[in-house]
Amino acid sequence: MNCLNKNLNLSDYLALLARWVKAAERDYHPLDGTPDLGYYGTAYRHWGHQSIANYASAYATLATLASDDIIAISGVSRDFLYERALAALRYFLRLHTTGDLVSQDGTKWGTDWISGNLFLRGVAAIDALWDKFTDEDKQRVEKMVEAEAEHLMKQPIICNRWPERPELGRTNAEANSWNGSMLLHAIIYLPDHARKAAWWEQACRYFINTLSVPQDAEDQRLVDGRPIAEWHVGANLHPNFGFEHHGFLHFGYMVISLEELVFTWAQCRRHRLAPPQSLFHHWQEVWQVIKHSYISPGRLGYLAGEDWSRYLYCQAYFISMLPGLQKRLGDADARFMELELFDNVKLEQTANGDGSFCAKRLAALAAKDPVAFYRFESDYPGFFARAAVYYTLQDEGKLPAPPAPAEFEQHLAGIYQEPDAKFISQRTPTRLP
């Protein structure tokens, strides 16, 4: 801890983004015949679309917030970054089901179970570039969010804490989190829409049923004008606030589900929209479970297993969430974790030598599955753009000072058990789970 940068701030994140530009430009492709459109990676379905959104958000954030000295690290001009961000974002918007283009594999994205996730990956770019948009660009965003919101109004809210099959535990917490967020963003971009009240109510329902537990069915506390029990559709989490996904107790997806909610709070603050109370349902309880899994220095612990490349996908969500938890909850432990996590990400980028975040250790994956590789490689840049949103919230609390290492470990000591998942873990100040 003594060697970490206790003064870590937004400029440190932006410097890593600036170093990434050299690596990212190797994999940027102008669209044939349309030089003002382009994409990063493969522009294939799902993960390929996410990669484009990550790239656009990273470049737009860097262009908008970085000092001239940090821009110089990138080796390109601020105008160049804006041009690239606009080209990628415009392509991303036109690949939506409301748009007029298809991607490199003939697919589009939107109005499905994961489209809220894709939108949220691109929203930092949308906000950063809004003043540079044409009227047509703004209309594309408005048309897109309206279509997504209306799609969600027709869908059932799904909750599931038990495996669909004995070998497959699959919660719906992550999808409910970004679906609720999608509805609030529709209100942000279409504040005078006739369906605003209906979207708001459905967003509340999604949020209550994101980090939902069985005991919510009997909870009579009022949230957003109704007892929790009336909002409750079903449980996604077990009674002690852990959940299974992909077949096991997945701490990484606990992070993803909570991060989408924390980021939505930040977006509400950024756009001066008072968030619903339901957005904060069970944050504290789930955050305590996640904290139990943390392994110093700078690792999200996968105490029951992991099915992604380690310390990438879920951990990118994790580091971006931590400044938000510091500002919203005043959590000093989150500051300690952020410093360690950032140091590890910076260390790997430096070791790679070319500005990339994971190209060296995932070289074999890049050859075998480039769609997956580019998504992993662009996740940290994309989520650093989300971290920047928290850092720019001027009217929220200051970042707390981190505790000493021994104090931090004492905070995390204890037993966590989730009998319904057949899981128990104990940690002490000197012994990890």
For the stretch 282-304, pLDDT in tens is 999 999 999 999 999 888 887 76
pLDDT for the residue 245: 78
Query: For 226, which DSSP code?
Result: E
Task: State the average pLDDT for the chain.
Answer: 94
Residue 195 in tokens: 């369906």
Whole-angstrom distance, CA of residue 198 vs CA of residue 63? 36
Contact of 240 with 416, CB cutoff 8 Å? yes
pLDDT for the residue 421: 85
pTM for this structure? Answer: 0.96
Contact of 361 with 27, CB cutoff 8 Å? no
Average pLDDT, integer, range 127-137: 98
pLDDT for the residue 244: 83
Cα 129 to Cα 62, 93, 133: the distances in Å are: 11, 13, 6
pLDDT for the residue 253: 87
pLDDT for the residue 155: 96
Which of 407, 268, 395, 255 lies closest to 327, judged by CA?
395
Whole-angstrom distance, CA of residue 84 vs CA of residue 60? 8
pLDDT digits (tens, 9 = 90+) for 324-360: 999 999 999 999 999 999 999 999 999 999 999 999 9
Whole-angstrom distance, CA of residue 28 vs CA of residue 98? 24
What's the pLDDT band for 240 if we cut at 50, 70, 90?
very high
Looking at the predicted structure, is the pLDDT value of residue 168 above 70? Answer: no
Contact of 82 with 63, CB cutoff 8 Å? yes
What's the pLDDT band for 382 if we cut at 50, 70, 90?
very high
Whole-angstrom distance, CA of residue 109 vs CA of residue 92? 9
Contact of 104 with 44, CB cutoff 8 Å? yes
- Residue 415 CB-density burial (10 A; 0-12 exposed, 13-18 middle, 19+ buried): exposed
The residue among 141 and 244 whose pLDDT is bigger is 141
Fold classification of 10-427 is: Glycosyltransferase (1.50.10)
pLDDT for the residue 343: 96
